[in-house]
Structure 1
Amino acid sequence: MDLKSYIRNIPDFPQKGVMFRDITPLIKDPEAFKFAINTIAEEVKKYDFDLIVCPEARGFIIGAPLSYILNKGFVPVRKPGKLPYKTVSDYYELEYGKAELHIHEDAIKPGQKVLIVDDVLATGGTALALKRLVEKIGGEVVASAFLIELTYLNPRNLLNDLPIIAPVKY
């Protein structure tokens, strides 16, 4: 199945010069969505991990079904003020700005292995922030998975040797 045919390109969103890859047509189509999640699930099965860590909001769309299919715990990472318990935070750069993410300080036990999941790997800033958050609270990131990788932004340069799974590449 050609997943790219289900992804809508929106120029100049959220600002001029950015090509936004809109996954809403893909997730609206049950067969395309199922194919995308199953494709990622098959690829990540080769890694030994306990938890899936995802940022809001679109990361949840990919991470939650993966967590269910693979029988792994799910750890939400959210924007400031959205998690009810004590948190650890990290600032990071986006393709078009800066942001901050929070994780519950007890979300990961020391030594637990983690798979980072999000919808799009652009500059790698969000993934790197997630990796730092996991490590701050004692976890170990073993791999990462995304629906889409924007290779023209060279995100792998920032993530060094972290294994990256992404069935759709631009």
Structure 2
Amino acid sequence: MTDPRITSVKDLIELCPDFPKPGITFQNLFPVLRNPSVFKGLIDVLVEDIKSKYPAVEVIVGLDSRGFLFGPMIAQELNVAFVPVRKKGKLPGETLCVEYTLEYGKDACEIQKNSIQPGQKVVIVDDLLATGGTMRAACDLVDAAKADILACVVVIELKGLKGKDRLKYPLLSYID
């Protein structure tokens, strides 16, 4: 049975055809952020699931850019660190970098080199999993930092694109 808080999120998602390019249907979660009670319900579900399934978590990693909307709030509720994965060239100091393929092009992402310590327990958060390129790159970055990935968490999984198949860690998703 689906949690009614997730049903409320699903009801607010807007489908935007041919964005960011022809043939892609963007699933817009921003209406959820405009509804404080639904947004809070979503964060509560994510926190509850992470806390119950991965109680050892020490770091929430959020992906640029929509993972930044959920990650810091989850980290705050769990009283753990938040670390951003940013697009290449957006972070100061020494960074670890990975290049990857998206469903509509290529990109690169980075984390600050000392933002995650070896052995720390990490959960990676983003809004959506499509082909898995961005999430896989984030996993590669966390692996390069020698931390332990407990799980990847997304609100939406586009199951038909089989992004989960590119991941070697457990995936929690709520809407497909």
Length-normalised TM-score, structure 1? 0.95
From 117, 121, 124, give the equivalent of 1:116. 124
From 63, 76, 82, give the equivalent of 2:71. 63
Give the corresponding residue for 2:11. Answer: 5
Structure 2 alignment gaps of length 5 or more? none
What is the distance in 2 between the residues matched to 1:150 and 1:141? 22
- The number of aligned residues is 168
What is the distance in 2 between the residues matched to 1:110 and 1:88? 14
**Greater relative contact order, per chain length (Cα 8 Å cut-off, separation 6+):** 1
Q: Can you list the C-alpha shifts for 1:84-122, whole angstroms capped at 9, x where unaligned?
A: 111010011111111100111101111111100011111
Structure 1 stretches (4+) deviating beyond 3 angstroms? none
Q: Can you list the C-alpha shifts for 1:2-47, whole angstroms capped at 9, x where unaligned?
A: 2211100000000111010001101110011011111111111121
CA root-mean-square deviation: 1.0
Given that residues 40 and 167 in structure 1 are in contact (C-alpha distance below 8 angstroms), is that contact kept between their aligned partners in structure 2? no
Name the SS for the 2:43 alignment partner: helix
From 27, 43, 48, give the equivalent of 1:42. 48
Length-normalised TM-score, structure 2? 0.92
What is the distance in 2 between the residues matched to 1:28 and 1:70? 23
- The alpha carbon displacement at 1:76 in A equals 0.9
Give the corresponding residue for 1:165. Answer: 172
Structure 1 alignment gaps of length 5 or more? none
What is the distance in 1 between the residues matched to 2:70 and 2:144? 24
